[in-house]
Amino acid sequence: MIGLVIAGIQKGGVVVRRENRPAAFTLVELLVVIAIIGVLVALLLPAVQAARESARRSHCMNSLKQQGLAFHNYEGAHGGFPPRRHRPSPHQGWGPYLLAYMEQQPLGEQYDTEQDFYAPDNQPYIQVPLPVFVCPTAPPSRYVDIIDQDGTETGARGAAGDYFVPNSVDAYWWPEAQRAAAADTAHSAALRDNQIQPLRKITDGLSHTLLVGEFAGRPDHWILGEQQPTNDGLKWANWWGPWASYNSTIYKTFSADGRTPGGPCTVNCNNNWGLYAFHPGGAHILLCDGSVQMVTDTLDRDVFAGLVTKAGSEIIADSDLH
């Protein structure tokens, strides 16, 4: 029983009363406890953050796997992968062609691929944020006020997408003929404009050819993990980025500081061109066979460029992708 206990002790005929009180922390003890809790939190926080990042990576990989399944289901129905983009009109990206094959049938049925993706009839649909097109490690709740390639405001707004397909690759260090072939947007990459791409055209092998890569953070401009003060240096910041837009680009390498195209940096350098993710140390890619890999930010530039070209006969070992 907690309370005031009075005990009587007889000493020489005098009754001495003694009060027994509950023990209490001293100030020093309290400070020690707080310090211990602080140390434990400091020790546990990295583990918690690592667990969260692991979960986000798994989510991101799963999104790319769903896209891979959708590409192959589309191929089964149409005899090839969907167009990379449709231009000049109607302006369409590759994402809308996959909707019916990734458990987005109602959206796919209502979306009109015969009109520009930013057309008024499509406006209600491109504003729908689709988790399959967004990496959870990237900043959340991003929308793009769409301006077309001529710089004209369309009045449309689209939910962002974090995955891009390649148009080509600028392998500036390769011999001129090889570099020119890799830069050919009509024939270099896995997908092509305005037409379905038969898988037989991907002669470098489905498991060694890039289909989709992380290209995250738009419409904001990011360099080596740092958000830039403005988006002035970002190519078509309000055209590329919505999941329904073209979302295709020339893949480039960058200088070590991530600011100048042409250099040793291949992954997570600059979200202006090429692979960019918010995962520490690397980014995910979807290969044409439907497999997903995490490539590190030390990815060799020859492997980087060889992955983009579908028929360049570059030799890529499985170990190069890890």
List pLDDT tens digits, range 230-253.
998 899 999 999 999 999 999 999
**Is 21 part of any domain?**
no
Q: Which domain holds residue 256?
A: 47-321
**Is 3 part of any domain?**
no
Quick one: pLDDT at residue 23? 64
Whether residue 247 contacts residue 94, with contact meaning beta carbons closer than 8 Å, is answered with yes
Find the farthest-apart pair of alpha carbons in the chain and give their distance in angstroms, rounded. Answer: 114
Nearest Cα neighbor of 219 from 193, 202, 243 is 243
pTM of the entire predicted model? 0.86
Question: What are the strands, taking DSSP E only, across 207-310?
Answer: 210-214, 222-223, 226-227, 248-251, 282-287, 292-296
Confidence label for 2 from pLDDT (cuts 50, 70 and 90): very low
**Residues making up the chain, counted from first to last:** 322
Q: What is the pLDDT of residues 41-93, one digit of tens each?
A: 777 777 666 778 788 899 999 999 999 999 999 999 999 999 999 999 999 99
Whether residue 174 contacts residue 253, with contact meaning beta carbons closer than 8 Å, is answered with no
Number of domains into which the chain is organized:
1
Categorise residue 13: left if φ over 0, alpha if ψ from -120 to 50, beta otherwise.
Answer: left
Whether residue 257 contacts residue 268, with contact meaning beta carbons closer than 8 Å, is answered with no
Q: How many CB atoms are located within 10 Å of the residue 19 CB?
A: 8
**Is 306 part of any domain?**
yes
**Is 91 part of any domain?**
yes
Contacts of 322 (CB under 8 A, 6+ apart): 293, 294, 296
**Is 71 part of any domain?**
yes
